[in-house]
Amino acid sequence: MSFTQTVARYSIKKLFSEKWYLLMFLAIPLMMGGLFSLISGPSGQPKPVGTLLITDNDDSTLSQLLVNGFKQGPMAEMFISKNVTSVQGEEIMTKGGASVWLQIEAGFAQNYLDEKPTRVKLVKNPSQNILPEIAETAVDLMADGGHYLQVLFAKELKQFNDLFNGEEISDIEMTAMSLQIKHTMENLEQQLFPPQIKAIKHEEKEQQKTSKSFMLLMFPGILFMSLLFSSQGMALEFWKDKSQGISSRLMTSPSALSHYLNGKILASLFVYVLIALVIGILGLTLLKISLSKLIIIVGWLMLSGLVLGSMMLFVCLLMPTEKSASVMTATMVFPLMMLGGSFFPFDAMPKWMVAIGQYLPNGYMLQSFNQWFIHDKPLSVLTTPAIIALVFIAIFWFINKSLLPQFART
């Protein structure tokens, strides 16, 4: 067994003896990805949810129809409706405990049917923006719809109201009402059809993009977040070995430090493969990623891990103490994650952040990976980034090799 293999074996064995240290590389990214998924919901887009207070002083069939508009469909997903008295509603809104308060005045239905002015009051929470505006738009639409119904079917609405309230309607009145509704609809049909504006459908040449779930968009970011943590940890292993006197003892052999560096790189590759397999298997289970994609993911993460590990090692070798190396690399990790697409997908980031992040080592590798993984581009899009990554790794290997003797002596 060569010395390079011995170093790699020793480093891997050491990592497994510190199980919590190895688990940290996986636990933090998975926890953050899970939290983002819970926040965003199954559709991938965050859904605002607020409380709608309802004070129905009329308690009529018509007022119930108005209230039920908020209790079904998309409105029911955004608002939790709660019936309150006027005193309770005022108290809750004063404390800011609800998004909006809908108040329906007494006599609302009768005034509407008699074509008299009536009022629906909507009190909005000033500390909220989105949900109160949605509620106001919904009430405006209901008011407009009610106005047009009143213009077209004022008499019929009164008869329907009598019917709902249990009053008897003769067969003659029922027949007359049906005929009147039919005549009104026929008149409307003559005015509305054929439509004055004709819609012409053009087939788009470009293939429609399929919607992607939020977790699928976050998946590459979680992988690269784990790579950043693990590359930082593997780079700091050089300082731990130095504190134990290993580096200084290797100075006795001319080629020992090169073998030591190569052994550490092999151990790092093992960690990157482990991360890719664990998170990749979760992707197979939860996101239905194909097995062929998993093989490419493992290979790309090995390459990306070497890029990030070389960079982190370069910084560690320049630092005067282990503490300063730990602080400096930790200071680097979070900006790299934020700008490099690990916290949020590039598609959801501001343009100025994307402009910076795409030129960072992790951002460049992640964005290149996304072209294939997220945007379904051919595998050939990874060729140029892979060549650039290999050149980057080779350059930093020679730089780190030249820094190791000085690092071991000091």
* 208 pLDDT higher than 50: no
Residue 267 domain-assigned (yes or no): yes
Q: Greater confidence, 316 or 209?
A: 316
Whole-number pLDDT of residue 140: 84
Q: Greater confidence, 167 or 405?
A: 405
Residue 201 domain-assigned (yes or no): no
Which CATH number belongs to the domain containing residue 65 in this structure?
3.40.1710
Residues 384 and 325 in one domain: yes
Residues 20 and 149 in one domain: no
Q: Greater confidence, 76 or 310?
A: 310
Greatest mean pLDDT among 1-10, 238-247, 281-290, 377-386: 377-386
Residues 91 and 223 in one domain: no
pLDDT in tens, 325-370: 999 998 998 899 889 888 777 877 888 888 898 899 999 999 999 9
Residues 125 and 10 in one domain: no
Which pLDDT band holds residue 191 (cuts at 50, 70, 90)? low
Backbone angles phi, psi at 319, to 5 degrees: -80, 145
Closest CA to 234 of 311, 346, 177, 321: 311
* 209 pLDDT higher than 50: no
Number of structural domains in the chain: 2
Whole-number pLDDT of residue 159: 61
> Tokens 């130095």 correspond to what residue?
242
d(CA 186, CA 183): 5
Residue 198 domain-assigned (yes or no): no
d(CA 380, CA 387): 12
Whole-number pLDDT of residue 248: 82
Q: Greater confidence, 262 or 60?
A: 262
Residues 165 and 223 in one domain: no
Residues 152 and 242 in one domain: no
Residue 57 domain-assigned (yes or no): yes
* 195 pLDDT higher than 70: no
Closest CA to 75 of 104, 102, 52: 52
Closest CA to 212 of 1, 373, 7: 373
Q: What is the domain range of residue 296? A: 3-42+213-409
Mean pLDDT of the chain: 80
Q: Greater confidence, 30 or 296?
A: 296
| Token reading at 71 | 């209790």
Residues 106 and 220 in one domain: no
Q: Which residues pair with 81 in a beta bridge?
A: 52
Q: Greater confidence, 162 or 137?
A: 137
Backbone angles phi, psi at 268, to 5 degrees: -65, -40
Residue 208 domain-assigned (yes or no): no
End-to-end CA distance of the chain: 30
Pairing status of strand 120-124 against strand 100-104:
antiparallel
Residues 218 and 333 in one domain: yes
Residues 124 and 222 in one domain: no
The answer, yes or no, to whether the previous bond of 220 is cis (omega within 30 of 0) is no
Mean pLDDT, residues 132-136 taken together: 86
Residues 85 and 149 in one domain: yes
Residue 219 domain-assigned (yes or no): yes
Whole-number pLDDT of residue 247: 81
Whole-number pLDDT of residue 307: 94
Residues 217 and 374: beta-carbon distance below 8 Å: yes
Which among 167, 185, 203 is the end of a domain?
185
Residue 200 domain-assigned (yes or no): no
Residues 113 and 18 in one domain: no
Residues 34 and 64 in one domain: no
Residue 143 domain-assigned (yes or no): yes
pLDDT in tens, 12-70: 888 777 666 667 666 666 665 565 555 455 444 455 678 899 998 888 877 887 888 77
Closest CA to 342 of 302, 310, 315, 369: 369
Whole-number pLDDT of residue 206: 43
Which pLDDT band holds residue 156 (cuts at 50, 70, 90)? low
| Token reading at 180 | 């009147």
The sign of the CA dihedral 399, 400, 405, 410 is positive
Which pLDDT band holds residue 265 (cuts at 50, 70, 90)? very high
